[in-house]
Amino acid sequence: MAGTIAAYFSIGTEPDTRGLIYALWKRGSYVLLPLLRGDGDLDWASYEGPDSVRPRQDGLHGLAEPAEPPRGRDAIARAALVIVPALAVDKRGMRLGNGRGCYDRALARVGAAVPTVALVYEGELVDELPAAPHDRQVRLVARSSGATAQLTRFPS
């Protein structure tokens, strides 16, 4: 079990992460959740149980954020595992997000040996996605198909 795990609270139709985050926390992992900054970058704060998360004050996209003090943009660099959202991932590990680049900036701070995992549904692993120079690959994709999940590893 990884010591520090950076994850996210899912929104809308994304694969649900709330139960996963709670289970990781209950098992003793230190879980970091993102705080969306005004400049579009991500800060990170600790998850301290269900009561430590609140809706964003501005209601942006229905996001929930930790109420704990920010740990800084570079806190993700200390994670042993990073779980990120994706609308789709291609067979190279390139992920499609919501177009703001906040997770690409965060992934740029993660060491080369740290597993980065995108969570998607079956059918969201596609042959190819457009990629810009700033886009970052994930190393794994976990895709859900009903009660089962499949893990795909990408070459570095």
Residues 42-97 have pLDDT tens digits of 999 999 999 999 887 665 666 788 999 999 999 999 999 999 999 999 999 999 98
Distance, CA of 93 to CA of 155 (rounded, Å): 8
**Structure-block tokens of residue 38:** 């005004």
Where does 27-87 have alpha helices with state H? none
- CATH assignment, 4-153: 3.40.50.10420
Furthest CA-CA distance within the chain: 40
Please give the pLDDT value at position 122: 87
Mean pLDDT of the chain, nearest integer? 89
Q: Under a CB-based contact definition with an 8 Å cutoff, are residues 28 and 1 in contact? A: yes
Average pLDDT over residues 22-44: 93
Residue ranges covered by each domain of the chain: 4-153
**Residue 141 DSSP one-character state:** E
Distance CA 76, CA 94 (A): 19
pTM of the model: 0.91
Q: Are 107 and 97 in contact (CB under 8 A)?
A: no
Going by C-alpha positions, the residue among 112, 86, 83 that lies closest to residue 12 is 86
